[in-house]
Amino acid sequence: MPEPETPVTFPPGFLWGAATSAYQIEGAVREDGRTPSIWDTFSHTPGKTAGGEHGDTAVDHYHRYRDDVALMAELGLGAYRFSVSWPRVQPTGRGPAVQRGLDFYRRLVDELLAHGIQPAVTLYHWDLPQELEDAGGWPVRDTALRFAEYAGIVGEALGDRVEQWITLNEPWCSAFLGYGSGVHAPGRTDAAASLRAAHHLNLGHGLGTSALRAAMPARNTVAVSLNSSVVRTVSQSPADLAAARRIDDLANGVFHGPMLQGAYPKHLFADTSSVTDWSFVLDGDLQLINQPLDALGLNYYTPALVSAGDASGGGSSADGHGASEHSPWPGAEDVTFHQTPGERTEMGWTIDPTGLHDLIMRYTREAPGLPLHITENGAAYDDKPDPEGRVHDPERIAYLHGHLSAVRRAIGDGADVRGYYLWSLMDNFEWSYGYGKRFGAVYVDYATLARTPKSSAHWYGQAARTAELPPVPVAE
């Protein structure tokens, strides 16, 4: 008989969580003073989302949050990462808060704490108030100042009960998918604007970090969640390595350089000189951005595979970020992205847990002493209930087992990883893909909004309760 596998166990105190974002789950877009965000506008613009779908109702978490928290507790989750809707708190993006909006998050936090679940608040998960976009959006400096004001408001309201804070989620997507390729809100296609947006997101992060610390108890932690890419090359040729370095600077260094080291990558300005002169970077900005962090959030789904441009290449069309005639890679439009080999999820993304291990170890080397959290990781599959109403998703269980094993391997290699947040708690509005891509551990019937935990939810709940990965079920 084969030897039984050694159980994969996690250290005491490791946080087992799940994550969501406001626009994807809350609904109630016109209630209690909330005004439109850029995603309300974008999703109601014909042709921008699959089937013209939008988040007006989403999965109605705004009204069902108590049941959703009870479900988290039933599954055994120890932490829940959610985002605050900026236009629910500050409808115009400036001025005093709407207390009815803040009250929803106060109630949500109290409900989580009553069930023994640690809340982790993300301040910005892509839902810029439309009024700020009308004034120029992230490409203008004032948006960073407005974000700092908003951060202080939310920190003061919830900082007595929430200890874990995240300023921005995936600023790369906000800058380069929102203002470069246009596949995300606000749907602009201006390469220079995307680089200005990246800098002002950095500035907003730094100013927002300072505002949070001024408004909250010193015990609270402040982090940022980056979807840093694992960039691999087709060959070790000098041209391919140079292409990978350019993409790495645009995917990773443009954010972690200023945030963690106080400097942009040394080649970035020259590589993008045909797009912008970077005159929007003012004296003192890098010091404002480079605020000490208490942790770093890493979001990982799949690696990237690139080469120097060639006549048969697909440019950025195979980068996994949605189809557009406009590239999200300013100054690197000639770099070719390739489909990585292997099994894929419904998003077309290759399943490769080694990329998560590599990502963790990179930041362990480059930011020594900075605790890490995996703030997003998960997979979309075409989940359907069986005749008894149960939802079996063995592919997701295998995905989670592989990636959590990679996290544990990194911990064994010396990485200080403190927690893992499954993306996502439940099926929801998947941005420009509408409701067609199901990332949830909990199945949502979009006609009735009934919630049904999938097999993966029970599997993950057992892992959370025991700090040990259950075996992957054998396919029937």
As a whole number of angstroms, the distance between CA 345 and CA 183 comes to 20
Of the residues 26, 111, 376, 430, only one is catalytic, namely 376
Give the pLDDT score at 309.
84
What is the residue-level pLDDT of the chain in tens, covering all 476 positions? 445 578 899 999 999 999 999 999 999 999 999 999 999 999 999 999 999 999 999 999 999 999 999 999 999 999 999 999 999 999 999 999 999 999 999 999 999 999 999 999 999 999 999 999 999 999 999 999 999 999 999 999 999 999 999 999 999 999 999 999 999 999 999 999 999 999 999 999 999 999 999 999 999 999 999 999 999 999 999 999 999 999 999 999 999 999 999 999 999 999 999 999 999 999 999 999 999 999 999 999 999 999 998 644 455 567 888 889 999 999 999 999 998 889 999 999 999 999 999 999 999 999 999 999 999 999 999 999 999 999 999 999 999 999 999 999 999 999 999 999 999 999 999 999 999 999 999 999 999 999 999 999 999 999 999 999 999 987 65
Give whole-number Cα distances, 199 to 251, 258, 270, 406, in Å. Answer: 13, 9, 16, 32
Give the pLDDT score at 4.
59
The yes-or-no answer on residue 376 being catalytic is yes
Neighbours of 232 (CB within 10 A): 17
Give the pLDDT score at 407.
98
As a whole number of angstroms, the distance between CA 306 and CA 247 comes to 8
Give whole-number Cα distances, 378 to 30, 381, 394, 441, in Å. Answer: 30, 10, 13, 9
Give the pLDDT score at 7.
86
Q: Which residues pair with 304 in a beta bridge?
A: 231
Q: Which long-range contacts (CB under 8 A, 24 or more apart) does 466-472 make?
A: 467/9, 467/10, 467/11, 467/12, 467/14, 467/16, 468/7, 468/8, 468/9, 468/10, 469/7, 469/8, 469/9, 469/401, 469/404, 469/405, 469/408, 471/5, 472/394, 472/397, 472/398, 472/401
What DSSP string describes 388-443?
TS----HHHHHHHHHHHHHHHHHHHTT--EEEEEEE-SB----GGGTTS-B--SEE
The yes-or-no answer on residue 149 being catalytic is no
Give the pLDDT score at 323.
87
As a whole number of angstroms, the distance between CA 436 and CA 53 comes to 10
Burial class (CB in 10 A: 0-12, 13-18, 19+), 428: buried
Tokens of 78: 């120890």
Give the pLDDT score at 362.
98
Give the pLDDT score at 476.
55
As a whole number of angstroms, the distance between CA 200 and CA 208 comes to 11
Question: Nearest-5° angle of CA 331, CA 334, CA 336?
Answer: 125
Please report, as a single letter, which amino acid is at residue 83: S
Task: Tell the residue number behind the tokens 């992957």, with chain if given.
Answer: 472
Of the residues 26, 53, 133, 170, only one is catalytic, namely 170
Please report, as a single letter, which amino acid is at residue 299: N
